[in-house]
């Protein structure tokens, strides 16, 4: 059922709190996990209308290297728990759009997200990125609420069921 799971991470403790649930889901279905981080860049201008291309390229390269190193460290933790894990650093704007495109591109069976809960009633429950992914995903989305987890309790010996989650069926879009 869930043979390939996508877990987007942004480097926050809250996003990382979804790792144990994603790992457990992958283990239960003898699946694999792909961790991803989206790196997006604002347009940089120095002075009035002067684009700073070298500064931009330097920042871009630095952020991609940091994302790669971060995902490698998270990959090691997931693999220590017995799950085959891959990583993807994706450069793009529109976080939810990039997640959805990557999910299609690498043919995942499910997306696991930690919902942050920011803005509006629906966004209060799910988080804006999670809301967009749930609305438009072509695969089931598992939302894990961080308030039910201990973010610093990431332990490679995890052998319990995932934390409370909401599973959203694929979008009809």
What is the percentage of the chain residues whose pLDDT exceeds 70?
71
Is pLDDT larger for residue 63 or for residue 122?
63
Residue 155, domain extent: 4-168
- pLDDT (tens digit, 9 = 90+) per residue, 116-156? 644 444 444 446 888 889 899 999 999 887 755 444 444 44
Rounded-to-integer distance, Cα 9 and Cα 30, Å: 22
Query: Is residue 71, in this structure, part of any structural domain at all?
Result: yes
pTM over 0.85: no
pLDDT higher than threshold 80 for residue 158? no
Question: For 74-87, what is each residue's pLDDT tens digit?
Answer: 999 999 999 999 99
For residue 37, give the nearest of 90, 75, 77 by alpha carbon.
Answer: 90
Close Cβ partners of 36 (under 8 Å, ≥ 6 residues apart): 6, 7, 8, 9, 71, 87, 88, 89, 90, 99, 102
pLDDT at 51 over 90: no
Domain assignment present for residue 173? The answer is no
* Domains held by the chain: number: 1
C-alpha to C-alpha distance for 4 and 25, rounded to whole angstroms: 10
What CATH number is given to the structural domain containing 32? 3.40.50.620
């Amino acid at each position: 059922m869930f043979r390939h799971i996508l877990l987007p991470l942004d480097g926050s403790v809250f996003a990382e709190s979804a790792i144990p649930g994603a790992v457990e889901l992958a283990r239960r279905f003898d699946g694999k996990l792909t961790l991803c981080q989206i790196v997006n860049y604002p347009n940089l201008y120095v002075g009035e209308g002067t684009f700073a291309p070298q500064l931009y390229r330097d920042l871009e390269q630095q952020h991609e290297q940091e994302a790669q190193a971060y995902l490698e460290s998270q990959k090691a933790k997931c693999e220590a728990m017995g799950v085959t894990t891959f990583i993807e650093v994706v450069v793009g704007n529109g976080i939810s759009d990039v997640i959805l495109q990557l999910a299609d591109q690498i043919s995942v069976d499910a997306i696991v997200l930690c919902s942050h809960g920011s803005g509006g009633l629906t966004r209060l429950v799910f988080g804006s990125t999670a809301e967009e992914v749930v609305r438009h995903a072509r695969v089931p989305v598992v939302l894990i609420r961080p308030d039910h987890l201990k973010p610093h309790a990431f332990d490679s010996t995890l052998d319990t069921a995932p934390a409370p989650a909401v599973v959203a069926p694929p979008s009809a879009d």
